[in-house]
Structure 1
Amino acid sequence: MAKKAKAKTVKKTVKAKVAKTVSKAKTKPKITRREYTKEDVKELRAHSKAKTPVAKIAKLTKRTVGSLRQKALKLGIGLGHQR
């Protein structure tokens, strides 16, 4: 009888751990989109001229590398210069 009770509690704890893992996997950070202001564009152009690495620009502006590359493409300026 003790073995059955122990087996049930083990199953419950395993199910609880799996449920926690699944719920964490489903939770994604909410994406908040920010418009590019005139100052942002001016800064991006300055970084392009200075040939700053895209990763560094991303950290400074708190935007993703992809976002910066897309904006630069639309503006017709180069980013990600290789030296």
Structure 2
Amino acid sequence: MTKRASNTKPSARREYTKADVKELRAHSKARTPVAKIAKLTKRSEGSLRQKARTLGIGLGHQR
């Protein structure tokens, strides 16, 4: 059994809704930096990159 650091909380997983995917595609087209998308959507950069990869779209301003 692994012990978690006391100052971290477990990740709260949220499903991507159709609206989330639409927003992600729009940001992809606009070439919005991933850090900015992460703040707007309140999701991690890794989560956004993984979802973009499964959707087959590029993400970030440098691709």
Identify, as 1 or 2, the structure richer in helix: 1
In 2: Cα distance, 1:65 partner to 1:26 partner: 22
> Which structure 2 segments of 5+ residues have no match?
none
Q: Deviations over 1:13-52 (max 9, x none)?
A: xxxxxxxxxxxx8212121000000000000000000010
> Which structure 1 segments of 5+ residues have no match?
1-24
The 5-angstrom pairing of residues 2-13 of structure 1 reads none
TM-score in terms of structure 1 length: 0.66
The structure, 1 or 2, with the larger RCO (C-alpha pairs under 8 Å, 6+ apart) is 2
2:50 partner SS: helix
C-alpha RMSD of the superposition: 1.6
Give the total of aligned pairs.
Answer: 59
Amino acid of the structure 1 residue aligned with 2:5: K
In 2: Cα distance, 1:26 partner to 1:71 partner: 27
4+ long deviations beyond 2 Å? none
**Cα drift, residue 64 of structure 1:** 0.2
Identity of aligned residues (%): 76
